[in-house]
Chain A
């Protein structure tokens, strides 16, 4: 079908969500009042600011994810041509994964993998 299928499916998704929102707006019954517009916290009013700061631990995991995702992106072409290339590919991947494993071990040792 070619890559125009992507655009068609994208539009189909947008139509689905927008359409359902529209229908819901039409047939739902509206009774808005100020109490309904407050954020939910087990029935009591909130105390303190709501937009709290992100913890640093999330950034650490995100960076680690980035590194390993790039590694996966490098592994994909290797996996596809592995059977044709033969022994060289095997040796090469052992070296590659060993270096990456060292990186993971370093992060582990330094405590970056602890969720504080």
Chain B
């Protein structure tokens, strides 16, 4: 299966390297075909499909409660947010009003998921540019979040805690206490992250001016999430189309205008601070009430098309459902943030060096199962 188009007219000094599916820097099973001239990159072609599992096709034969299980495995670092997207789409289609308690808990766990994804990203970013210790520090903090999730939701990574109509179970009695402990601990750790990487001159020289993306290009390629916000394009779904309890909290959108890797890095660090602030605003006043609203055992959406977008840690995830009134959707499509972000890669790395490619890919922060679904 030779899907790559090999340029037969490249000059004799250019050569062709395969940064293949087995590679520590490509954050998943991604194959990149690079055409290189010495140290300068001439062309980058991603080759996708190595982890395609036909999720969208499987959705056509599953009921809506079963579909929620499948979305965990798309962008597994923001699995809760993926679940929430489907549940919100179904609830809006059925015009169900979920209790306040559910909304607040969903938002708290959303932000915890975002912090967990960003700490993993930070660890891996350090590792990609060579500071091998940051990986362990990022994972140490992530462990605390995983333990909280395990106690309340039952699993550490693919939580599957949302159902259309609410939550599967009420939160564990320890939940509030543990989240508060975590927040107190994490606020002392974020400055440590700054000391280790952000202020380091070598790191800054590796990321400043590297992989520059202008605002017009970001909009043209459909970038979203921290990639777009690093170029000054304000696109946070939580601000523009708030969902769950997001209209009750106040937070700033992290924006930087330079568009290079360092700006994207700073955007994510700032997002972590903002998530901490959101959790602090919500954790003390979780309203009492039911943890779910009763729905039919077999959910049938009325005929029509429904769309719901949420902000995952990677960017804007969209869920598009076409229903013909039956108990399975006729077609379900996920607008994946990673695919649009990955399409930029050729544009921003051409003309740079191989070392820059790795640093840039780390700041674009893709998760390949999200792209391949």
A interface vs B, CB < 8 Å? 41-44, 46-49, 52-53, 55, 57, 115-116
Contact = CB atoms under 8 A, between A and B. Distances in A.
Interface stretch (B12-20, B102-110, B220-228): B12-20
A46 B15 CA distance: 11
What 7 pairs across the A-B complex have the smallest Cβ distances? A42-B20, A43-B22, A44-B18, A43-B20, A44-B20, A48-B16, A42-B23
B209 interface: no
B20 A115 contact: no
Contacts of B31: 44
Contact of A42 (B6, B22, B40): B22
A52 to B, nearest CB: 5
Contacts, number: 34
Contact of A47 (B12, B13, B18, B38): B18
Contact of A52 (B6, B15, B40): B15
A88 B38 CA distance: 48
Contact of A53 (B13, B19, B20): B13
A49 B22 CA distance: 22
A53 B38 contact: no
A55 B38 contact: yes
B39 interface: yes
B21 interface: yes
Contacts of A49: 15
Interface string B20-43: 111100000001000000111000
A77 B16 CA distance: 49
A47 to B, nearest CB: 5
A47 B23 CA distance: 18
A49 B18 CA distance: 13
B19 A42 contact: yes
Contacts of B6: 47
Given A44-B21, A52-B13, A55-B13, 19 more contacts: A41-B17, A41-B18, A41-B20, A42-B18, A42-B19, A42-B20, A42-B21, A42-B23, A43-B22, A44-B18, A44-B20, A44-B31, A47-B16, A48-B16, A49-B15, A52-B15, A53-B12, A116-B39, A116-B40
A53 to B, nearest CB: 7
22 contacts: A41-B18, A41-B20, A42-B18, A42-B19, A42-B22, A42-B23, A43-B20, A43-B21, A43-B22, A44-B18, A44-B21, A44-B31, A47-B18, A48-B15, A49-B15, A52-B13, A53-B12, A53-B13, A55-B13, A55-B38, A115-B39, A116-B40
A116 B23 contact: no
B128 to A, nearest CB: 16
A42 B31 CA distance: 9
Contacts of A52: 13, 15
Contacts of B19: 42
Interface in B167-218: none
Contacts of B39: 115-116
Nearest to B38: A55
A43 B16 CA distance: 15
B237 to A, nearest CB: 36
